[in-house]
Amino acid sequence: MNAPLRRAGVVVMVLFGLLFANLNWVQAYKADDYRTSPYNARVQVDEYNRPRGVIEVGGKALAENKATDGELKYLRTYPFKSQFAHVIGYKPVNLGATGIEQAEDEFLAGTSDRLFADRFRDMFTGEDTAGGNVVLTLSLRAQDAAIKGLANNDVGSTRGAAVAIDPNTGAIQALVSMPSFDPNPLASHDTKAAQAAYDKLNADKQGPLKNRALSEVLPPGSTFKVIDSAAALESGYQLNTRIPAGPTYTPPTSGSPIRNSSSGICPESQVTLIQALTESCNTGFARLAVELGANKIKEKAKAFGFETTDLKVGNLDGGGLTVAASRTGDIQNPDGSEDKAALAQSGIGQNNVRMTPLQGAMIAATIANGGERMRPYLVQQLLGPDRRTIGTASPKKINNPITGDVAADLQQMMVSVVENGTGRRAQIDGFTVGGKTGTAQDGDDPKDHGWFIGFVLKDGQPISAVCVLLERAGESGGSSAAAEIGGQIMQAVIRDRGAD
Amino acid sequence: MTAPAVPAPTPATTGEMPRVRESSGRRNAELALLLFVMLLVLAYAATVEATALDTITSDFWVPVALVAGVFLGLHVVIRFLAPYADPAIVPAVALLNGLGVAFLRRIDLAFADANERADLPIFSGVGGRQLAWTLIAVVLAAGLLIIVRDHRAVSRYAYTLGLVGIVLVMIPAVLPGKFSEINGAKLWIKFGGFQIQPGEFAKLALVSFFAYYLVRKREVLSLASRRFLGIDFPRGRDLGPVVAVWLLSLLVLVFEKDLGTALLYFGMFVVILYVATERVSWLIIGLLLFFGGAFLAYTLGASVGGPFANFYQRAEIWLDPFADPYADGFQMVQSLLGLGTGGLFGAGPGGGQPNKIPLVVSDFVFAGLGEEIGLFGLSALLVVYLLIVERGLRAGLAVRDSFGKLVAGGLAFTLGLQVFVIVGGVTGLIPLTGQTTPFLSAGGSSLMANWLIIAMLLRISDAAGRPVTGATGGRAGGPGGGGPPAQLHGAPTEVIRS
């Protein structure tokens, strides 16, 4: 009987060996997965044991904490409710954070390497390291003006976006997407209520959770004519170079004619370049695009930031909110040759051309900034828990899509648009305002998108550049309403800076 | 057993001396180990309070001192009544039991109101109850050592024990749910505020019965068999009674939905049968039946449902616990997350959040401990369990009678299998079946039954360690407790030649 007993002993050893091996798998190999699993409530309890850093603008907290009696000691609150929702995002208990809450999560949570010294100190003092604070570049006034402008637009658009950028630095002054949402219920400690709130927002057909300023790509319409103009000026055209126009233009290979938006616009066979932009002459720019060729247009658009897939709006570490890529689309026949009909349509921002509002603002900012395109960013400063400065954003140039001379010419053309042409409603007394409106057809929908991109200068120095989009704004008027909102936002920036 | 303890046919006086020295040496080792182990538990309890309360209360040592006291009492009983017993078993069990009491108190601290934590009474909460049960269980173990002076005496009551085993298993099944059901499992006898799980005690009774019966029949079982498919099958009438008892208990357990215990009894029976007959074919049949049964239950659970649905669900959870992390898979997911959070070193006693794991005081006690003592701590616990099991098997190897071999082997193996089933379950190695983790889980029945098993193993290891006096094994002894105890009755337990 001893032999089988010994074997039973071996069997027990093998069974325990299996237990041991599996325990190694669970506690060593998979440990990190489990430790940081979103299902692991321990992570949350630890995380909520110390106050998360504050996200602030102009000394006001946009995201702060409230002490609770519950197991999770701090509740994240957003006192401005929907006003900054798309920028700040929210920090839910069970799911991943969004917006700045996500982009700066490590710093806000106090686990960033930048806060190592603080943690090291607190290890000895026994305190729980609070998270670091994040100061944003936003202007409270500009943000407010953008929200009010978008919400009270006179063309009945319920969806839209607005972005304002400091052309000198790339610092974002306003970033609004409409409709917005209140992030507070999403951060509730009652995870079922939070989930229900999320489900409701997610199911909303208006898409309030979507950040239209960064992730919506729509046909830019006539605002794209600025790109054509830049390409033309670089190819030797002058402001007063006369370009062919006329009431209709039928591209060489296709039967569908391109018309101007009204018969009063450039009916003459030739107009100057500056006149064409001022009046937003469709036939003129369609012919110009065909004249210049698809490659020149696409190249110029690319230099201005089209086709960029990895742009993120955040601090200078490179992280942040992902920006959808703007595209010029294919402008060729199936055999690879240039599709002139498509090219003519693309030249006036239709066909497959798609742009984000941020991209629109960056085009205006680049022109206002003498041709230097700056990286857009949202985080101005990182402060330690004791409000010691830990990092400050340093502006960074991405490239020079155009020379200073071309930029100056484009400025002049765009100022003409606001002073004499379609963008009159953007005017600001005492300041030089330039811009370009756009009305874009999207599919068969009779309601067009209204666009405005523009900038404001004081003594030749840029103060702000904006892009305003009103989705499905109506058959006409959308773009001039957008221009008015753009003007209001820029005015708010001026007042915020005390420049008036 | 060619024990060199008796060097030569020397005069009686010198013959006595080495034996006494040897047994007292073992007992002193046991005492030293026991004190060391209790110091470990004391350090654990202190760390728990320092971490969870930020202070160490003035009476943190009281629970540890109480269990240490009763363990020392058991040690004294062993010193007099089982002087040759294996000295490693009691300290090993004491470590597990002591840690269990301290850990359950730690869970009580986690659930107590913040301002009442420091004043938690010694006998309150799950930890306090476990402390009380420990005292009772150890006294019971000592009682068994006092009453049963020779393990072979047990075989005289084998049939009675078999019957008792069956009755114990069946009581909850026949009792109305009001008196037997807790959390959907019908495993209890409840009266007033008191509850007991009779099935826990059936293990000891059934092993004794199986062992006795198979010892009687082993010759016939291994010789008078018919060959079929290359495997030797014994005649039905030889195997009938044990198979009947075994099947009956298995059926009851399946309908009580206590799959873990059913699996345990199955393994227990197969191993005893294998050890008794020394035929590998039993193992093969056992394994085929097991895997076939598991597969059948899984497929039936998937298609028919009914009594198999539970098994199917558990298998599904095992295959992917994260498929439904907040409902079906919740327990498993939380267990794995707890273990993973513990990592290599653990969060430290009192430093984790084991209260996040459901059923952490019973089924998932191992995962709860794992979060705080880490991979290294759990590995040490596994080694302690392995030590107890292998020491039990060794007692079976060393003891001279077949009944003792089968009882020790059966009990030790079943203990090991139980640890495997529950620890494998909570760590995701095998599907989870509800079981207590011996000596760690909260529960009086489990604690008492397991301590009785330990007492039985101690008794057998004492018989094994007792040097042979006289010319040939077995009969010599006499009054005064010198040699092996005389055969207390005429049960035909043979001395094995191995």
Nearest by CB: B343 against A20, A35, A45: A35
Same domain, A82 and A148: no
Same domain, A131 and A147: no
Helix ranges restricted to H, A304-444: 340-347, 357-368, 404-420
Domain boundary among A121, A136, A151: A136
| Number of compact structural domains in chain A | 2
- Would B78 be classed as within a structural domain? no
**What pLDDT, on a 0 to 100 scale, did the predictor assign at position A125?**
64
Question: Can you read off the two tokens belonging to residue B406?
Answer: 């089968």
Same domain, A429 and A451: yes
| E strand or H helix at A392 | strand A389-392
Contacts of B72 (CB under 8 A, 6+ apart): B31, B34
Judge whether B429 is closer than 8 Å to chain A, CB to CB. Answer: yes
Is A37 among the catalytic positions? no
Subunit contact B420:A34, Cβ cutoff 8 A = no
Residues A18-28: tens digit of each pLDDT? 999 999 999 99
- Would B156 be classed as within a structural domain? yes
| Number of compact structural domains in chain B | 1
Give burial (CB, 10 Å; 0-12/13-18/19+) of B432. buried
Q: Residue A122: is its pLDDT beyond 70?
A: no
Confidence category of residue B194, pLDDT binned at 50, 70, 90: confident
**What pLDDT, on a 0 to 100 scale, did the predictor assign at position A85?**
94
Highest mean pLDDT among A161-175, A311-325, B199-213, B343-357: A161-175
Altogether, the residues listed in chain A come to a count of 500
**Angle formed by the axes of helices B365-398 and B444-465, nearest 10°:** 30
Q: Mutation test of the interface with chain B: which of A18, A19, A46, A127, choosing the one with the most B Cβ atoms within 10 A?
A: A19
Question: Can you read off the two tokens belonging to residue A253?
Answer: 């290979």
* Other Cβ atoms within 10 Å of B413 Cβ, number: 28
Same domain, A225 and A331: yes
Same domain, A99 and A160: no
Same domain, A415 and A459: yes
**Poorest-pLDDT segment among A123-127, A380-384, A490-494, B285-289:** A123-127
Subunit contact A19:B423, Cβ cutoff 8 A = yes
Subunit contact B340:A24, Cβ cutoff 8 A = no
Please give the average per-residue pLDDT across A183-212, as a whole number: 92
CATH of the domain at A46: 3.90.1310.10
Chain A residue at shortest CA distance from B337: A34
CATH of the domain at A282: 3.40.710.10
Q: Residue A418: is its pLDDT beyond 60?
A: yes
Nearest by CB: A15 against B352, B405, B416: B416
Confidence category of residue A86, pLDDT binned at 50, 70, 90: very high
Please give the average per-residue pLDDT across B11-16, as a whole number: 44
Same domain, A162 and A112: no
- Would B369 be classed as within a structural domain? no
- Would A29 be classed as within a structural domain? no
Q: What is the average pLDDT value for chain B, to the nearest integer?
A: 83
Judge whether A70 is closer than 8 Å to chain B, CB to CB. Answer: no
Confidence category of residue A127, pLDDT binned at 50, 70, 90: low
User: Which one of A180, A222, A280, A480 is the catalytic residue?
Assistant: A222
Q: Residue B495 gets which letter from DSSP? A: B
- Would A258 be classed as within a structural domain? yes
Question: Can you read off the two tokens belonging to residue A175?
Answer: 């970033």
Q: What is the average pLDDT value for chain A, to the nearest integer?
A: 90
- Would B249 be classed as within a structural domain? yes
Residue numbers of the domain that contains B226: 152-313
**Poorest-pLDDT segment among A425-429, B295-299, B362-366:** B295-299
Report the distance separating Cα A31 and Cα A25, nearest Å.
Answer: 8
Chain A residue at shortest CA distance from B341: A35
Same domain, A226 and A117: no
Residue A112 vs residue B102, higher pLDDT: B102
Same domain, A108 and A177: no
pTM of the model: 0.66
Same domain, A468 and A349: yes
**Poorest-pLDDT segment among A187-196, A483-492, B233-242:** B233-242
Contact B385, B479 (CB under 8 A): no
**What pLDDT, on a 0 to 100 scale, did the predictor assign at position B237?**
67
**What pLDDT, on a 0 to 100 scale, did the predictor assign at position A13?**
95
The b/e string for A383-400 (b: 16+ C-beta within 10 A; e otherwise) is bbbeeeebbebeeeebeb
Same domain, A124 and A158: no
Residue A435 one-letter amino acid = G
**Angle formed by the axes of helices A2-24 and B402-426, nearest 10°:** 10
Same domain, A111 and A178: no
Which of these, A408, A363, A402, A359, lies nearest to A231 by C-alpha position? A402
Q: DSSP characters for A37-98?
A: -TT-HHHHHHHTTSPPPPEEETTEEEEEEEE-SSSS-EEEE-TTGGGGHHHH----SSS---
Please give the average per-residue pLDDT across A430-447, as a whole number: 89
- Would B348 be classed as within a structural domain? no
Residue whose pair of structure tokens reads 């773009």 in the numeric block: A479
Residues A210-220: tens digit of each pLDDT? 999 999 999 99
B374 chain-A contacts, CB cut-off 8 A: 27
Residues B413-461: tens digit of each pLDDT? 999 999 999 999 999 999 888 789 999 999 899 999 999 999 999 999 9
Confidence category of residue B462, pLDDT binned at 50, 70, 90: very high
Residue numbers of the domain that contains A128: 42-136
Please give the average per-residue pLDDT across A167-193, as a whole number: 93
